[in-house]
């Protein structure tokens, strides 16, 4: 039977990603990024200390590339709908270039650190300028948000749900607001499974909203800064912080540093290479080594 070309292609991409990681991995710049502000403290510490993450897999890459296309498609459609989106350049080939790139230099509790971000754009709702954040979500991530909208038709209820369940988005837009000195963000959802932009209701076809307006909360932002100062203090001292999750939770399954975390100490004591627990890199690289 002939070898399936797609299967071959994925296998090659996986080999290339691993080879590239082994050859080219460098300690990242010492910046927190706006999209990771709610991440586990230990995972962020591992990243910024330069520990080698697990290799990206081709499906993860595909999801990211597909997300970029959704972002461009949403912005082009918003523009065609007459909305003026700032801080981006629309190219003739349909791609959209983001020009709102910021690095915040922060001193909090006498600790210095940076947060970097790239805005999806800005736009005016009425007279007020908002930062624009687009979230294109797969079915299972989009559905619970849509359900809150369908059940309540209340943006406040959606915002309340996000504050509890998707604080990553709320933290990210807060960083965007601080960088731009704007006091409100417009969060737009897209369902990747059926390409609907915004939140729609199957119960009431007239109930449509892009998503929610997130107002700036100084209290919430202070909490974010407290957390980042805590991580930065541990980066400066080199002392590993405790993990956010003492037991393995769903977030741990997708963590790039899982091989160094739960059970790593036991594996070291038994003189097992942490690398053998790493599904992709095999035993040829010492994943405990961050030099």
Residue ranges that bind ligand SF4, judged by CB under 6 A: 40, 42-43, 243-245, 251-252, 255, 257-258, 261-262
Q: Residue 5 CB, nearest distance to ligand SF4 (Å)?
A: 35
Buried b (16+ CB within 10 A) or exposed e, 170-193: bbbbbbbbbbbebeebbbbbbbbe
Cβ proximity to ligand SF4: between 245 and 277 the closer is 245
Q: How far is CA 264 from the centre of its chain?
A: 26
Do 37 and 224 form a contact (C-beta atoms < 8 A)? yes
Residue 226's H or E segment, with its range, is helix 218-237
Q: Residue 274 CB, nearest distance to ligand SF4 (Å)?
A: 12
Q: Residue 287 CB, nearest distance to ligand SF4 (Å)?
A: 13
Quick one: three-class SS letters along 109-130? CCEEEEEEEECCEEEEECCEEE
Tell me the two tokens of residue 210.
């892009």
Phi-psi bin for 233: left (phi > 0), alpha (psi -120 to 50), beta?
alpha
Cβ proximity to ligand SF4: between 200 and 258 the closer is 258
Cβ proximity to ligand SF4: between 43 and 177 the closer is 43
Cβ proximity to ligand SF4: between 40 and 188 the closer is 40
For residue 133, give the 3-state DSSP assignment. strand
Cβ proximity to ligand SF4: between 145 and 260 the closer is 260
Q: Residue 26 CB, nearest distance to ligand SF4 (Å)?
A: 21
Q: Residue 3 CB, nearest distance to ligand SF4 (Å)?
A: 36
């Amino acid at each position: 039977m002939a070898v399936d070309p797609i299967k071959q292609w994925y296998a090659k991409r996986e080999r290339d990603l691993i080879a590239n990681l082994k050859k080219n991995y460098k300690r990242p710049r010492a910046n927190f990024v706006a999209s990771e502000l709610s991440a586990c403290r230990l995972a962020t510490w591992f990243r910024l200390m330069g520990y080698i993450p697990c290799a990206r897999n081709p499906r993860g890459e595909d999801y990211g590339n597909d997300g970029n296309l959704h972002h461009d498609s949403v912005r082009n459609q918003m523009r065609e709908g007459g909305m003026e989106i700032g801080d981006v350049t629309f190219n003739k080939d349909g791609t959209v270039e983001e020009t709102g790139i910021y690095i915040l230099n922060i001193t909090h509790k006498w600790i210095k650190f940076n947060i970097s971000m790239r805005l999806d754009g800005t736009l005016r709702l009425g007279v007020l300028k908002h930062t624009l954040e687009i979230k294109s979500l797969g079915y299972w991530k989009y559905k619970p948000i849509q359900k809150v909208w369908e059940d309540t038709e209340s943006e406040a209820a959606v915002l309340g749900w996000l504050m509890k369940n998707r604080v990553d988005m709320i933290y990210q837009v807060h960083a965007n607001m601080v960088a731009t000195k704007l006091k409100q963000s417009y969060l737009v959802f897209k369902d990747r499974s059926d390409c609907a932009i915004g939140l729609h209701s199957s119960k009431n076809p007239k109930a449509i909203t892009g998503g929610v307006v997130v107002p700036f909360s100084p209290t919430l932002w202070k909490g974010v800064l407290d957390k980042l100062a805590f991580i930065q203090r541990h980066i400066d001292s080199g002392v590993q912080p405790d993990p956010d999750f003492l037991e393995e939770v769903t977030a741990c399954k997708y963590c790039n540093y899982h091989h160094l975390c739960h059970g790593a100490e036991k594996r070291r004591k038994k003189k097992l290479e942490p690398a053998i627990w790493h599904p992709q890199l095999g035993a040829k690289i010492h994943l405990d080594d961050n030099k």
